């Protein structure tokens, strides 16, 4: 089974802190994604990566950056956390280019910014 893990289930940070959310997948997938999930808004794509060191902005990239130095790891960075970034963050991966278009999700990180 595909496994996507996220570094923390719950995180509490203060306004202005730099925050790192880590995601690791074990199925050699090319594509990795970061979403945020908010009540009434569903899932919104922040950034995605289709290869090592490659990234593309999603629908809501403002206030975030990403890093993909190794194929299995995709990091989401909040350079200066703000209260409106309090949310559930979900990481996903897939191998779309290899004949399957199913995304596999991690368990999520619930981030609270005080």
What whole-number distance in Å separates Cα of residue 99 and Cα of residue 108? 26
Residue 34: HSE in the Cβ half-sphere, 13 Å Cα cutoff = 29
Q: 33 or 81, CB closer to another protein?
A: 33
**Quick one: which of 29, 30, 32, 31 has its CA closest to 21?**
32
Q: What's the closest the beta carbon of residue 65 comes to another protein, in angstroms?
A: 19
Q: 82 or 104, CB closer to another protein?
A: 104
Kindly list the residues in this chain that would bind another protein in the complex (CB under 8 A): 4, 31, 33, 40-43, 45, 48, 50, 58, 90, 92, 94, 96-97, 101-108
């Amino acid at each position: 089974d595909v496994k996507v893990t996220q570094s923390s289930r719950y995180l509490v940070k203060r306004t202005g802190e730099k925050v790192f959310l880590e995601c690791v997948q074990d199925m050699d997938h090319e594509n990795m994604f970061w979403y945020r999930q908010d009540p009434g808004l569903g899932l919104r794509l922040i950034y995605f990566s289709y290869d090592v060191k490659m990234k593309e902005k999603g629908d809501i990239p403002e206030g975030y950056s990403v890093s993909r130095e190794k194929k299995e790891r995709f990091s989401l960075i909040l350079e200066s956390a703000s209260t409106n970034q309090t949310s559930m963050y979900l990481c996903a991966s897939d191998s779309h280019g290899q004949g399957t278009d199913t995304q596999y999700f991690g368990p999520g990180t619930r981030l609270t910014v005080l």
